[in-house]
Amino acid sequence: MAVQTVASTTESVDLGPAAALSCRECGHRVPLGPVFACEECFGPLEIAYDFSGYDTEELRKRIEAGPANIWRYAPLLPVPADVAGKPNLNPGWTPLVKADNLARELGVTGGLYVKDDSGNPTHSFKDRVVAQALEAARAFGFTTLSCSSTGNLAGAVGAAAARAGFRSCVFIPHDLEQGKIVMAAIYGGDLVGIEGNYDDVNRFCSELIGDPAGEGWGFVNVNLRPYYAEGSKTLAYEIAEQLGWRLPDQLVVPIASGSQLTKIDKGLQELIKLGLVEDKPYKIFGAQAEGCSPVSVAFKAGHDVVRPQKPNTIAKSLAIGNPADGPYVLDIARRTAGAVEDVTDEQIVDAIKLLARTEGIFAETAGGVTVGVTRKLIESGVLDPTKTTVVLNTGDGLKTLDAVAGTGLTATIRPNLDSFKEAGLV
């Protein structure tokens, strides 16, 4: 992995409480800039904050008086203080649904909640991370927003760039389904199909970043990744605030690269340190599809390293066979006394249907994974049904209709009462 060498006048960059980039492995600090790998050890860089000077009760009041989107948490994010007035898609503040019907089916008595991110502007949690990357791109003077994607991210980048007045150029495998191409292309940016698979697309993007042709380009999930990733913290903030500034006992989070889970943990830790919630134990459970379960396999085997897999599952938004943050996920699951579990494609479909018929929430396959894993963990006694539990749905069923294509009509009748009565529905 090549270290970024893009020069940028980062001295004057205002990204609010973001103070520097810090290596997750060796702690080496560098100024804020469009870099993602440590120049010392090649470890991943993440945002280091300066939260000193915050008064807990003032901060709480400021958040509660903020807008009904992620910018209510601007004091805790790498964004300027006036971010809410800038053109952005303003995602977040999605419902935390008290899922009493689902709780009854699963035998949960301690309170079960679904954090439903399908209401975001482009209907996935990706809007949260792209919103951060966009503000970083603005701060660094980038003019083009880019990414490699197989679906949700392409739409989120295209939409955010359109609204914020950035050019966008998004790279996808050329043979994606027509529906996904339409969703990514509709925002009018450039959408480039690459003859190859997702790995080829990723490799090409890394090449482009190092080339003069990529000058002025912010790749949200590459050179802007440290900023981008912080967006997932807002899920933790919202869950705690929506519970009345209280930590849940258990969280079930999907794993693709593992970044979301690690940032949710980071967000919860920040809330504790800032005194916004009581310091109490919580358990984080990671959820994968059996067809792409490298972290789950490592967890169960007691390994610290994650062995890559070749994905084969209907949960395509989670199908990252070599998850960059896999080892950190293992750390967090073990530190919090959680677990990592996986479910089959059949269990994913069953869980999508279960959530839909109990709570009226039509989840993406990733939501089927978390609900399915929740059920499995309850049945195996690993997840405690007497504790407050939050399950994440990070996407929208409308984007993965194929997974439940078998769902159909109960009956077909002629337009008269006799025919209806013969159908046996009354």
Task: Indicate which single residue of 14, 207, 278, 304 sits in contact with a copy of itself (rule: CB under 8 A).
Answer: 207
The candidate with the shortest Cα–Cα distance to 362, out of 151, 123, 186, is: 123
Task: Indicate which single residue of 27, 179, 335, 386 sits in contact with a copy of itself (rule: CB under 8 A).
Answer: 179
**Contact mark string toward a copy of itself, 354..393, x via CB under 8 A:** --xxxxxxx-------------------------------
DSSP letter assigned to residue 73: G
DSSP-assigned states of every residue in 232-244: THHHHHHHHHHTT
Task: Indicate which single residue of 2, 41, 213, 337 sits in contact with a copy of itself (rule: CB under 8 A).
Answer: 213
Q: Per CB under 8 A, which of residues 42..71 are in contact with a copy of itself?
A: 68
Q: For residue 312, give every residue at least 6 positions away whose Cβ sits within 8 Å of its Cβ, in sequence order, or none.
A: 291, 292
Q: Would you count residue 82 as binding a copy of itself (CB under 8 A)? A: no
Shortest distance in whole angstroms from residue 323 CB to a copy of itself: 22
- Residue with smaller CB distance to a copy of itself, 208 or 287: 208
Q: Would you count residue 187 as binding a copy of itself (CB under 8 A)? A: yes
Task: Indicate which single residue of 122, 250, 257, 288 sits in contact with a copy of itself (rule: CB under 8 A).
Answer: 122
What type of residue is 202?
N
- Residue with smaller CB distance to a copy of itself, 182 or 337: 182
Give all strands of the β-sheet with 112-116 in edge-to-edge order. 96-98, 112-116, 389-393, 250-254, 283-289, 339-343
What CA–CA distance (Å, rounded) separates 351 from 415? 34
Task: Indicate which single residue of 131, 136, 194, 371 sits in contact with a copy of itself (rule: CB under 8 A).
Answer: 194
- Residue with smaller CB distance to a copy of itself, 146 or 313: 146
Please, where are the H alpha helices in 29-99?
A: 56-64
Shortest distance in whole angstroms from residue 343 CB to a copy of itself: 18
CB 394 within 8 A of CB 238: no
- Residue with smaller CB distance to a copy of itself, 319 or 361: 361
DSSP-assigned states of every residue in 210-259: TSGGGTTEEETTTTTHHHHHHTTHHHHHHHHHHTTS---SEEEEE-SSSH
Task: Indicate which single residue of 7, 301, 305, 425 sits in contact with a copy of itself (rule: CB under 8 A).
Answer: 425
Q: Would you count residue 348 as binding a copy of itself (CB under 8 A)? A: no
